[in-house]
């Protein structure tokens, strides 16, 4: 139980995402919970990102840096080092928090037994403006990670304690450094709380890394699980690479069949 209201740190890593960044900032600015700070780690953007950041610089507790990064892991680590909150979340620059998210997270961290990680649901928004809510449940966070290499990163909030015990992300990894970081974190047996509420609106657009670099992300995730979590690797391999390859085979087969008709 937290004796005093905690400071919540939100870390946003961004580069050349000015078109999304304004909505990202606005969604944090509009949170009802007052004790939060927003740390924007900009990778030396060449678009209007800095203009957007400076526009909101005095509107709320916003801190930012803009300099080249080696990769996402280095940028995330900068944000972690700059953050001061006892609760920390990561919000991609093309994603937004829904109203009431931070308050719901603080409420969850205020209950006994005090969790190390809190997560919720995601509202996915596609290029054609269609929307789909992805719900999770109270028991599948470990199963999601060990069996699929996936966690709802956009909705995760961490205690300062679990961050300090886990350490920083491995900046030798390029595409999915958080995956190896989560495996290290889960070996510490964190207490995990699920909140059945949509925390985040996540944009799945043609320019998103998860779409542009899907193959690279899958390849790196597979290597991470092979070497860092060999015990669960057979289940992971069945659920991710094999199913992905099978889906591509069926899709291509049906596509070629349709062309012949």
pLDDT > 70? residue 233: yes
pLDDT > 60? residue 246: no
What's the pLDDT at 259? 46
Asked whether residue 246 is domain-assigned, the answer is no
Can you give the pTM of this predicted structure?
0.87
What's the pLDDT at 35? 98
pLDDT > 80? residue 254: no
Closest CA to 166 of 156, 153, 155, 181: 181
Asked whether residue 178 is domain-assigned, the answer is yes
- What span, in angstroms and rounded, lies between the C-alpha atoms of 200 and 42? 21
Query: 87 lies in which domain range?
Result: 8-211
Q: What percent of the chain has pLDDT over 70?
A: 87
Express each pLDDT in 64-113 by its tens digit: 999 999 999 999 999 999 999 999 999 999 999 999 999 999 999 999 99
Asked whether residue 249 is domain-assigned, the answer is no
- What span, in angstroms and rounded, lies between the C-alpha atoms of 99 and 111? 21
Asked whether residue 14 is domain-assigned, the answer is yes
Express each pLDDT in 112-141 by its tens digit: 999 999 999 999 998 888 999 988 865 578
How many domains does the chain contain in total?
1
What's the pLDDT at 247? 45
Express each pLDDT in 143-178 by its tens digit: 888 887 889 999 999 999 999 999 999 999 998 999
For residue 116, the domain's CATH number is 3.90.550.10
- What is the pLDDT confidence band of residue 142, given thresholds at 50, 70 and 90? confident
SS3 content of the chain, % helix, strand, coil (to 5): 45, 20, 35
Instruction: Find which of 188-197, 219-228, 230-239 is predicted with most confidence, using mean pLDDT.
Output: 188-197
């Amino acid at each position: 139980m937290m004796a005093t209201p905690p400071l919540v740190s939100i870390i946003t890593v961004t580069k050349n995402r000015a078109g999304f960044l304004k909505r990202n900032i606005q969604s944090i600015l509009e949170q009802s919970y007052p004790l939060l700070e927003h740390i924007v780690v900009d990778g030396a953007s060449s678009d209007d990102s800095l203009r957007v950041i400076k526009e909101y610089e005095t509107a709320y507790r916003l801190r930012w840096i803009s300099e080249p990064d080696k990769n996402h892991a280095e940028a995330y680590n900068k944000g972690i080092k700059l953050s001061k909150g006892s609760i920390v979340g990561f919000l991609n620059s093309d994603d937004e928090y829904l109203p009431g998210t931070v308050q719901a997270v603080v409420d969850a961290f205020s209950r006994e037994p005090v969790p190390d990680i809190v997560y919720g649901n995601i509202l996915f928004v596609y290029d054609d403006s269609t929307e789909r809510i992805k719900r999770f449940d109270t028991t599948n966070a470990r199963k999601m990670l060990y069996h699929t290499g996936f966690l709802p990163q956009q909705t995760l909030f961490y205690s300062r304690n679990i961050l300090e015990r886990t350490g920083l992300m491995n900046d030798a990894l390029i595409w999915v450094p958080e995956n190896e970081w989560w495996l290290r974190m889960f070996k510490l047996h964190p207490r995990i709380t699920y909140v059945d509420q949509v925390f985040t609106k996540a944009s799945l657009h043609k320019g998103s890394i998860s779409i542009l670099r899907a193959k690279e992300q899958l390849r790196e995730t597979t290597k991470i699980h092979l070497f860092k979590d060999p015990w669960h690797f057979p289940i992971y391999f069945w659920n991710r690479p094999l199913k992905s390859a099978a889906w591509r085979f069926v899709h291509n087969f049906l596509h070629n069949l349709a062309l012949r008709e």
